[in-house]
Structure 1
Amino acid sequence: MLSTPQAGDAAAPLPASVRRGYALGSVATGTFGTVPGLLLLPYLTDTLGIAAGVAGVMVFAPKAWDVLLNPVAGRISDRSTSPRGRRRPFLLRSGLLLAVTFALIFAGPSEPTWLAGAWVVVMFLACASAYAFFQVPYVAMPAEMTLDYDERTRLMTWRVVVLALAILLSGATAPMVVEAVSEVSSETSGYRVMGLYIGLVLLVGVLGAYIGTRRAPDHGVASPSGTVRDQLRLVGQSPDFRNLLLTFVLQALGIGVMLAGVAYVARHLLDGGAASTFLFVAFVGPALIVTPLWERFAARRGKRRGYVVATGFLVAGAVGLLVTVTGTAWAAYAAAALVGIGYAGAQVFPMAMVPDVAAEHAARTGENRIGVFTGVWTAGETLGLALGPGLYALILALGGYVSSRADEDVTQPDSALTAIAIGFSVVPAVLVAVSLLWLRRYTLDDRVHAGADSALDTLPEEPTS
Structure 2
Amino acid sequence: MICRWPSVTEPPPLRRRTVIRYGIGSVGTAAFGTLPGLVLVYYLTDTLGVPALAAGALIVVAKIWDVVIDPAIGFVSDRLAAVRGSRRQLMVLGAISLPVAFVVTFSAPGTLPTAAQALWVAAAFLFSATAFSLFQVPFIALPAELTDDYDQRTRLLTVRVVVLSVGILVFGAGGPALRDAGGSEAVGYLLMAVVTGALMGVSMWVSSRAADDARQVVADGAVPMSPARAYWAAIAALRRSRALRMLLGAFVLQGLATGLMLAGAQYVATWVLDSEAAVSALFTALIAPALICAPLWGAIARRRGKEYGFIAATVLFAVAAISLTGLWWSSGVWVYGSVAIAGAAYAGMQSLPLAMLPDVIGHDEARHGESSAGTIGGVWTAGETSGMALGSVLFTVALAVGGYISSDEPGAVTQPGSALDAMVVGFSVLPAALALLSVPLIVRYPLRRNSSDPRSEERAAGD
**TM-score if structure 1 supplies the norm length?**
0.92
1:298–1:268 distance in 2 versus 1, CA, 3 Å: same
Contact 2:46 2:408 in 1 (8 A): yes
Contact 1:18 1:215 in 2 (8 A): no
Q: 2:136 maps to which residue?
A: 135
- Superposed, 1:301-340 pairs within 5 Å as 301-340=304-343
Deviation at 1:268, TM superposition (A): 0.5
Q: 1:124 maps to which residue?
A: 125
Distance 1:451 1:72 in 2: 29
- SS of equivalent to 1:79: helix
Distance 1:57 1:132 in 2: 20
Deviations 1:36-61 (A, max 9, x none): 00000000000001111111111221
Matched residue type, 2:201? L
Q: 1:203 maps to which residue?
A: 201
- Superposed, 1:97-176 pairs within 5 Å as 97-110=97-110, 111-176=112-177
1:435–1:407 distance in 2 versus 1, CA, 3 Å: closer
Q: 2:460 maps to which residue?
A: none
1:23–1:283 distance in 2 versus 1, CA, 3 Å: same
Q: 1:459 maps to which residue?
A: none
- SS of equivalent to 2:344: helix
Q: 2:419 maps to which residue?
A: 416
Deviation at 1:396, TM superposition (A): 0.3
Deviations 1:169-208 (A, max 9, x none): 1110111111121xx3x21221111111211121232122
Matched, 1:216 2:213: yes
Matched residue type, 1:231? A
Matched, 1:258 2:258: no
Matched, 1:64 2:68: no
Q: 2:236 maps to which residue?
A: 234
1:450–1:103 distance in 2 versus 1, CA, 3 Å: closer
Deviation at 1:219, TM superposition (A): 3.5
Contact 1:44 1:50 in 2 (8 A): yes
1:349–1:343 distance in 2 versus 1, CA, 3 Å: same
Matched, 1:384 2:387: yes
Deviations 1:129-174 (A, max 9, x none): 1111110000000001111111100000000000000100111011
Contact 2:367 2:454 in 1 (8 A): no
Contact 2:365 2:371 in 1 (8 A): yes
Contact 1:360 1:455 in 2 (8 A): no
Q: 1:439 maps to which residue?
A: 442
Contact 1:66 1:129 in 2 (8 A): yes
1:221–1:346 distance in 2 versus 1, CA, 3 Å: farther
1:75–1:83 distance in 2 versus 1, CA, 3 Å: closer
Of residues 268, 272, 276, the one that matches 1:269 is 272
Distance 2:231 2:2 in 1: 26
1:104–1:220 distance in 2 versus 1, CA, 3 Å: same
* Runs (5+) with no aligned partner, structure 1: 457-465
Distance 1:278 1:327 in 2: 17
Deviation at 1:2, TM superposition (A): 8.2
Deviation at 1:331, TM superposition (A): 1.2
Matched residue type, 1:79? R
Matched residue type, 1:201? L
State, as a whole percentage, how many aligned pairs show the same letter.
42
Contact 2:146 2:213 in 1 (8 A): yes
Deviation at 1:108, TM superposition (A): 2.0
1:327–1:349 distance in 2 versus 1, CA, 3 Å: same
- SS of equivalent to 1:444: coil
Deviation at 1:90, TM superposition (A): 1.3
Deviation at 1:398, TM superposition (A): 0.3
Contact 1:2 1:83 in 2 (8 A): no
Matched, 1:48 2:48: yes
Q: 1:426 maps to which residue?
A: 429
- SS of equivalent to 1:425: helix
Q: 1:289 maps to which residue?
A: 292
Distance 2:114 2:406 in 1: 13
Contact 2:52 2:406 in 1 (8 A): yes
**Structural RMSD (CA):** 2.2
Distance 2:451 2:20 in 1: 31
Deviation at 1:232, TM superposition (A): 2.1
Larger deviation, residues 351-360 vs 407-416: 407-416
Deviation at 1:228, TM superposition (A): 1.7
Distance 2:235 2:175 in 1: 41
| Structure 1: 4+ residue segments shifted above 6 A | 1-4
Distance 1:283 1:147 in 2: 33
Distance 1:407 1:257 in 2: 21
Q: 1:462 maps to which residue?
A: none
Distance 1:77 1:83 in 2: 10
Distance 1:190 1:229 in 2: 41
Distance 2:332 2:277 in 1: 11
- SS of equivalent to 1:92: helix
- SS of equivalent to 1:24: helix
Distance 1:39 1:82 in 2: 39
Matched residue type, 1:112? P
Deviation at 1:316, TM superposition (A): 1.1
Deviation at 1:244, TM superposition (A): 0.9
Distance 1:442 1:233 in 2: 19
Contact 1:10 1:146 in 2 (8 A): no
Contact 1:269 1:327 in 2 (8 A): no
1:48–1:216 distance in 2 versus 1, CA, 3 Å: same
**TM-score if structure 2 supplies the norm length?**
0.92
Of residues 359, 370, 373, the one that matches 2:373 is 370
Deviation at 1:87, TM superposition (A): 1.4
* Runs (5+) with no aligned partner, structure 2: 458-463
Distance 1:362 1:109 in 2: 49
